[in-house]
Structure 1
Amino acid sequence: MLDDELQEFAKGKARGQVVKELEDQLFELYKDENLDIKPPQLEKRGGAYYSDAACNLISSIYNDKGDIQVVNTLNNGAIRNFKDDQTVEVSSVITKNGPKPLSIGYLPDAVDGLVRQIKSFELLAAKAAVYGDYEAALLALSTNPLIPSDDLAKTILDEMMEAHKEYLPQFQ
C-alpha cells in the first residue's frame, strides 16, 4: 500500500484525489445489478475489514448480543476527564438499546492534554459547521496540533472555503 501511495505522490496526486477517483470508479461498478464479485479497486480504497466490523455491529444490535466493541458514543462517564454528553470512541457493550460505554476512569497525564486538545478541535469544528462560524473554524484549525501556526491555519481555512464554497452555504 505504501508503494502505491508513493507512486501516486510521485505523479503529483494527493491521497484524497486518489481515493476520490477510486470511489468514482466503484460507484460506476456498483450501478451494475449483476455485479457479484468484490471489485479490485476496493482493495486500494483503504478501510479493509470495515464492512466486517459494520456487519458485526449491526448483528450485535439486532440480536442484542451484549458483546464488546469499540464505537463512537456519548461518554456517559466512560472517560472521567470528559463531559457525559461528549462523543468518545471507547469499548462499549452493544445492546439493542444502544451502546453502554465501559469506564476507563481518568486519562493518564501523558495523553490527557493531547486528547483534550483534539476534543477542543472537534467541538470548535462542529460549531463552525453548524453555525457557519468562520472564527470558530479558524480557532479549530489553530487548536489542531497538526497545524503549526495561526497563519497557516488561516491560509488553509481560506483556501478550503474558496475551493468548497458551493458546499458551505452556511458560511455565506
Structure 2
Amino acid sequence: MPQHQLTEATIGNLPIVNFKLRNVKIIVPKVSCFINNKALEINLGRLKTTVFNGMYSTSIKKTFYLELSCTQPSPVEIKMEGDTLPSTDDKILALNKYHAAKGIGLQIIYEDNPIQFNHWFSLKKVPDTESIPLPFYAQYIQVAARVTPGQANALVTYHIKYH
C-alpha cells in the first residue's frame, strides 16, 4: 500500500516529526433529512366575520403535522417563506389577493409561539431512523379594525437544513 505524508515538522533543516497515513479508510457519514408529507393543504373552514372581535383576536387553531425523518441524529432548522404583512415582524402572513377577505392574516404557531416567516428557526433534534411528527398550528388573526368577508387563502413554502 502506498503511504501518504500527512505532515512534517522541522527545526531548521532537521525533521523532528513526520506523520504518514497507511491503510486508512475514512468514512464520512451521510446525513439526510426529509419531510414525509411534502404538500399540505390546511383547511381552516368557513368562518363568520363575527369570530373576530378586535385587533389581534384569532380564530380557533387548526393542528397540522410535518413528519420529519433523518438518517442520522441531527439538529434541524426550517424556514417557512411567504408574503408577510407590513409591521408584523414577519409573524403574520398576507392572504392571497384574489377575492380575499380583508382585515385578517394567517399565523403559524410552533411550540406556543408564532413563527417568524422568512427566517430560519430550530426544530427538535431528530433521532435517526425514526419519523417524528412535529405539531404546528394555523390560525387566522385580525389585523385591522374591520373584517370583510372573502377568500382566506395563503401559500407557504418551507425549506429544511440539517447538520
**TM-score normalised according to structure 2 size:** 0.19
Question: Could you say which structure has the greater relative contact order, defined with CA pairs below 8 angstroms and 6 or more residues apart?
Answer: 2
Normalized per residue, the structure richer in strand is 2
Please say which structure displays the higher CA radius of gyration: 2
**TM-score normalised according to structure 1 size:** 0.18
